[in-house]
Structure 1
Amino acid sequence: MDARRFRAPRPIVTVAALLCCAGLLSGCSDSPSARSGESGEKEDSTTRAAQAAVPRAARAVDDLENGYLKVIEDVLPSVVQIMARNDLGSGVVYDGQGHIVTNAHVVGDEETFRVTTANSEDTITAKLVYSYPQQDLAVIKLDRVPRGLKAARFGDSSKVEVGQIVLAMGSPLGLSSSVTQGIVSATGRTVTESRAEGGTGATIANMVQTSAAINPGNSGGALVNLDSRVIGIPTLAATDPGQGDDAAPGIGFAIPASTVRTIADQIVRDGRVTESGRAALGITGRTVVDEDYRVAGVAVVEVMAGGAADRAGIEPGDVITRLGDTDITTITSLAEALASARPGERTTVTYTRDGSEKTVDVTLGEQ
């Protein structure tokens, strides 16, 4: 409990007394009947204002509800259910040619899928175009394009603000065409997925945090603003280790639309990701602990020939402890530090070799 004390608001009667005093000072010569008449007029005015506020509030509720209904009508037809052999998730219609963008962990190792659109119970077969686990994104393509297939419109991730109302659309727990509501809770989050239960283990930067419920089956669906624009692809929910890794209510994350478009455009155009935009050191590493069994850095196991680390003189056996101004204690912390950097960016790497600490300049490569 916070020990600070807060001053309670002054009682209304005090304010009323002050108003009365102000009235007396400005009109001491008024007769009682005149003052009574003015009081009555003020009361009538207040009553009218209060009565007018009721329909205004009702109209505001109606406007918001109608806004929700319009967004759902606009976007839900672009959200599909994807069924793999042993898994189920959601996807978003990317274009009129039948390309569907979803999460890499939804497609897993499968090559073929059954897809159900929002306006039909018939299933359509689809094939994998390309999966990019490093960003947990994938594109599949319908074997036939059904009549009326509607591509979603994607928004500008840079304009997403904390407090915006958003809707999450997908198939949580297999309940197709479900919609939940919340707000944007934060932006710019860097999150590392678990590898458990089919996760890719990817570290993803600039994710949108939302309070809209995201449950198993929502993955790959749409996080939508009230302009009917997809601002993100719901991907994972936070877990609470203190509760046995159960989902932490109201904390979900979506890959921002800008990242989705960058990756999906390359897959649709080239059949693969040609420019990831993800910085890399060009090493294989593992977390190491000190003599007190505390995490102490990332040991370099292998160095990619010609990569950033190789060019900087980093060797197998070195233990990386810092990247730029960020302390590195685990392989996850290294991945998160790299996720916020860009290929070609110059930084420093601090590492230990044979008990001696060294710092070198590094030009980051691309993953």
Structure 2
Amino acid sequence: MDASPPRSRVRRSLTPLAAAVCAVALAGGCAGPGPAPAAAPARQGVVSRATGDLEDRYQAVIRDVLPSVVQIAAGDGLGSGIVYDDKGHIVTNAHVVGSGKTFDVSVATGEKTLKASLVSSYPEQDLAVVKLDDVPDGLRAARFGDTDAVEVGQIVLAMGSPLGLSSSVTQGIVSAVGRTVSESGSDGGTGATLADMVQTSAAINPGNSGGALVNLDSEVIGVPTLAATDPQLGGSAAPGIGFAIPVSMVRTVADQIIRYGKVTDSGRAALGITGRTVVDNEYRPAGVAIVSVVKGGGAAGAGLRSGDVITRIGEDRVTTITSLSEALAGDKPGEKVTVTYSRGDAKKTAQVTLGEV
């Protein structure tokens, strides 16, 4: 699966955190034994206790959360999921379930593979909910955290089934928040543009998708979904750059699917058009041509029509359908944006009140 972070492309990988202690001995002008040598063991003891405390926290989080992370087999593919409630609902990525309707799920509470059925998939946010046909005793739902409390530098653990290795755990930090990335639609992704993503250095490999990104309070703060690839290296994985859907969006989508069987309020902004990428005389992407406008939508209300070519949303340049989606990703339905477009040889602008996807 490919995707693009703010101006690059995306897939999956890890840079582990490491701690090193360096003891430096100073010599010269100091004769005979002194207090310095005795200080080294004390310092080593402090470091050992600190390391032990961190290891204890890691192990406690793993004991708390890993039983809530499952492996999902969908056709020939494998992915991960998180137990959402005690009724057997499991949240995962839409690209994990694909077009499937039934799945084999392996849970931590037993060796027997369980059957699950699709409740609904929402590819626009790359999320889906499946439900176990029979809920086993002892199934444990995960605890979900607060997106607003996620900060750069927090230590996180990624849990899932990378490369089919079930119940695997990797670690890293929150590298950034509020990233907008776009998945490839041709490499297993849904082609969605995803806003407010959590960037992490924890490994996100094939099979991690749909699993849990967890803080040291044993709370799920995101669903690992993508990891970066470097186009200059032929699409090879870019180590230490992965992305997770924030827990606020996970809750919004999962709660609606469980309650209504579908997403009824996406919270995602739309112009109210269908469009296609157009190129200039040198065959470079140059804008999005409007194929049709939605009757009663924002673009129609602002006077845009079929044949207009959108080149900017506010200050953001628009050259492709993907860049148009990225330009709108941080906006909300009901907000107004300035759309710059060309009609024939004339350059125009319009104030468009955004609708909803």
TM-score normalised over the length of structure 1: 0.87
In the alignment, is residue 224 of structure 1 matched against residue 253 of structure 2?
no
Q: Identify the residue that residue 182 of structure 2 maps to in structure 1.
A: 192
Shift of 1:40: 8.2
Structure 2 Cα separation of the partners of residues 292 and 264 of structure 1? 45
Structure 1 Cα separation of the partners of residues 186 and 350 of structure 2? 36
- Structure 1 stretches of at least 4 aligned residues deviating more than 6 Å after TM superposition: none
Shift of 1:197: 2.8
Structure 1 Cα separation of the partners of residues 187 and 353 of structure 2? 36
In the alignment, is residue 308 of structure 1 matched against residue 298 of structure 2?
yes
Q: Identify the residue that residue 119 of structure 1 maps to in structure 2.
A: 109
Structure 1 Cα separation of the partners of residues 191 and 53 of structure 2? 42
After superposition, the Cα gap between the structure-2 partners of 1:13 and 1:72, relative to the gap in structure 1 and judged at 3 Å, is: closer
SS of match in other structure, 2:187: helix
Structure 1 Cα separation of the partners of residues 84 and 90 of structure 2? 5
State, as a whole percentage, how many aligned pairs show the same letter. Answer: 68
In the alignment, is residue 264 of structure 1 matched against residue 242 of structure 2?
no
In the alignment, is residue 109 of structure 1 matched against residue 93 of structure 2?
no
Q: Which amino acid aligns with 1:139?
A: V
Q: Which amino acid aligns with 1:143?
A: D
In the alignment, is residue 214 of structure 1 matched against residue 241 of structure 2?
no
Structure 2 Cα separation of the partners of residues 13 and 146 of structure 1? 63
Q: Identify the residue that residue 40 of structure 2 maps to in structure 1.
A: 50
Shift of 1:50: 3.3
Q: Which amino acid aligns with 2:288?
A: V
Q: Check conservation: 2:120, 2:128, Cα contact below 8 A.
A: yes
Q: Identify the residue that residue 329 of structure 1 maps to in structure 2.
A: 319
Structure 2 Cα separation of the partners of residues 82 and 306 of structure 1? 41
Of the structure 1 ranges 242-251 and 225-234, higher mean CA displacement relative to structure 2 is found in: 242-251
How well do the aligned residues superpose, as a CA RMSD in angstroms?
Answer: 1.9
Mapping of 1:92-171 within 5 angstroms?
92-171=82-161
312, 334, 338: which is aligned to 1:344? Answer: 334
Q: Which amino acid aligns with 1:56?
A: V
In the alignment, is residue 245 of structure 1 matched against residue 198 of structure 2?
no
In the alignment, is residue 298 of structure 1 matched against residue 288 of structure 2?
yes
Q: Which amino acid aligns with 1:272?
A: K
Structure 1 Cα separation of the partners of residues 172 and 246 of structure 2? 16
Structure 1 Cα separation of the partners of residues 90 and 39 of structure 2? 52
Partner deviation per Cα, 1:68-106 (whole Å, 9 max, x = no partner): 100000000000000111211000000000000000000
Q: Which amino acid aligns with 2:277?
A: T
Shift of 1:314: 0.5
Structure 2 Cα separation of the partners of residues 90 and 13 of structure 1? 52
In the alignment, is residue 69 of structure 1 matched against residue 54 of structure 2?
no
SS of match in other structure, 2:45: helix
Partner deviation per Cα, 1:267-324 (whole Å, 9 max, x = no partner): 1111110110100001111111111222211111111111111111100100001111
Q: Which amino acid aligns with 2:319?
A: T
Shift of 1:13: 8.4
Shift of 1:207: 0.5
SS of match in other structure, 1:166: strand
Q: Check conservation: 2:109, 2:138, Cα contact below 8 A.
A: no
Of the structure 1 ranges 236-245 and 355-364, higher mean CA displacement relative to structure 2 is found in: 236-245
Structure 2 Cα separation of the partners of residues 352 and 209 of structure 1? 36
Of the structure 1 ranges 237-246 and 190-199, higher mean CA displacement relative to structure 2 is found in: 237-246
Structure 2 Cα separation of the partners of residues 294 and 106 of structure 1? 33
Shift of 1:237: 1.2
Q: Which amino acid aligns with 1:244?
A: G
Q: Which amino acid aligns with 1:204?
A: L
Q: What is the aligned length?
A: 334
Q: Identify the residue that residue 88 of structure 1 maps to in structure 2.
A: 78
Partner deviation per Cα, 1:182-208 (whole Å, 9 max, x = no partner): 111111110000012321000000101
Structure 2 Cα separation of the partners of residues 292 and 242 of structure 1? 22
Q: Check conservation: 2:114, 2:132, Cα contact below 8 A.
A: yes
Consecutive unaligned residues of structure 2, counting only runs of 5 or more, are: 1-24
Structure 2 Cα separation of the partners of residues 273 and 232 of structure 1? 19
Q: Which amino acid aligns with 2:253?
A: I
Structure 2 Cα separation of the partners of residues 181 and 124 of structure 1? 29
Partner deviation per Cα, 1:121-155 (whole Å, 9 max, x = no partner): 21110110010000000000001111110000111
Q: Identify the residue that residue 267 of structure 2 maps to in structure 1.
A: 277
Partner deviation per Cα, 1:39-90 (whole Å, 9 max, x = no partner): 989x42x444433211111000100111110000000000000011121100
Structure 2 Cα separation of the partners of residues 149 and 237 of structure 1? 30
Q: Which amino acid aligns with 1:211?
A: S
Partner deviation per Cα, 1:238-262 (whole Å, 9 max, x = no partner): 1122232222221111001111011
After superposition, the Cα gap between the structure-2 partners of 1:252 and 1:13, relative to the gap in structure 1 and judged at 3 Å, is: closer
Q: Which amino acid aligns with 2:167?
A: S
Consecutive unaligned residues of structure 1, counting only runs of 5 or more, are: 1-11, 18-35
Larger helix percent? 1
Larger radius of gyration: 1
Partner deviation per Cα, 1:15-55 (whole Å, 9 max, x = no partner): x99xxxxxxxxxxxxxxxxxx9xx989x42x4444332111
Q: Identify the residue that residue 9 of structure 2 maps to in structure 1.
A: none
